[in-house]
């Protein structure tokens, strides 16, 4: 988005990682600032919005991408695990979307909100009861936000990544169970997810709202792969 002219407030619960992202953008000639933000805390989210508005006078785009993917067997999952995953992935998305949308409504000329869902929100997975439920919630939240915010010319969509190479040092080869149902038998790259989010946040996306755009190598459309 920075390469296409957006001024970016890079937010992360780890302030140094946020600063690193901002420096990367700046070194490439873009405009960016950093903000340490915990999406599970409303005052943190409000502070980030206030920082963006103070820096640039307005806020036009939100990409709500904070999330955790932690697995636990359903029968062994405790409340701490459930509340942490749903609190960040779903409640965090709700709070970010609500606070940013209020700012956009006050500005009076619309905006774009892009949530990050997952193919795990479309079907079940072993050890992913909390994660899958949180991402299914993000999908429905996206739809509900799109309906209610349309009158304010705020378009709300989601990108649904499949297996993505976010941590190449620890992820290893793509698991066979994923490859077996993916026409494109590889990890997606973060840049490939970002390009879909960038389209959804752009002026070119002007008549689409409430949808999830899969960037998953065909994972969610695959039926019988043999033959």
Q: Each residue of 159-186: pLDDT tens digit? A: 999 989 888 888 989 988 888 888 999 9
Query: Domain spans of the chain?
Result: 60-221
User: Which residue among 9, 10, 64, 131 is the active-site one?
Assistant: 131
What is the model's pLDDT at position 179?
86
24 vs 166 pLDDT, higher one: 24
Instruction: Please give the structure tokens belonging to residue 201.
Output: 């946040």
Contact 25, 32 (CB under 8 A): yes
Contact 129, 146 (CB under 8 A): no
- Measure the CA–CA gap between 88 and 169, rounded to whole angstroms: 24
What is the CATH architecture of 60-221? Answer: 3-Layer(aba) Sandwich (3.40)
Contact 210, 183 (CB under 8 A): no
187 flagged as catalytic: no
DSSP state of 41: -
Average pLDDT of 191-195? Answer: 96
Q: Which of 59, 160, 66 is nearest to 113 (CA)?
A: 59
Which residues sit opposite 116 in a β-bridge? 159
**What's the predicted TM-score (pTM) here?**
0.94
């Amino acid at each position: 988005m920075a390469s296409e002219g957006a001024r970016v407030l890079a937010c992360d619960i780890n302030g140094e990682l946020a600063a690193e992202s901002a420096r990367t953008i700046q070194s490439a000639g873009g405009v960016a600032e950093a903000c340490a933000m915990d999406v599970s805390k409303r005052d943190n989210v409000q502070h980030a919005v206030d920082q963006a508005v103070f820096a640039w006078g307005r806020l036009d785009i939100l990409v709500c991408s904070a999330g955790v993917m932690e697995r636990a067997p359903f029968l062994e999952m405790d409340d701490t695990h459930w509340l942490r995953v749903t609190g960040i992935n779903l409640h965090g998305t709700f709070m970010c979307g609500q606070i940013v949308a209020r700012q956009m409504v006050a500005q009076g000329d619309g905006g774009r909100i892009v949530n990050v869902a997952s193919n795990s929100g479309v079907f079940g997975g072993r050890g992913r009861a909390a994660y899958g439920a949180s991402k299914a919630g993000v999908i429905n939240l996206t739809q509900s936000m799109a309906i209610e915010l349309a009158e304010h010319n705020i378009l709300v969509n989601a990108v649904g990544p499949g297996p993505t190479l976010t941590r190449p040092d620890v992820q290893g080869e793509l698991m066979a169970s994923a490859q077996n149902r993916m026409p494109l038998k590889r990890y997606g790259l973060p840049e490939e997810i970002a390009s879909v989010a960038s389209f959804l946040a752009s002026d070119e996306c002007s008549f689409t709202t409430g949808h999830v755009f899969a960037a998953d190598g065909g994972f969610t459309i695959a039926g019988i792969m043999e033959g």
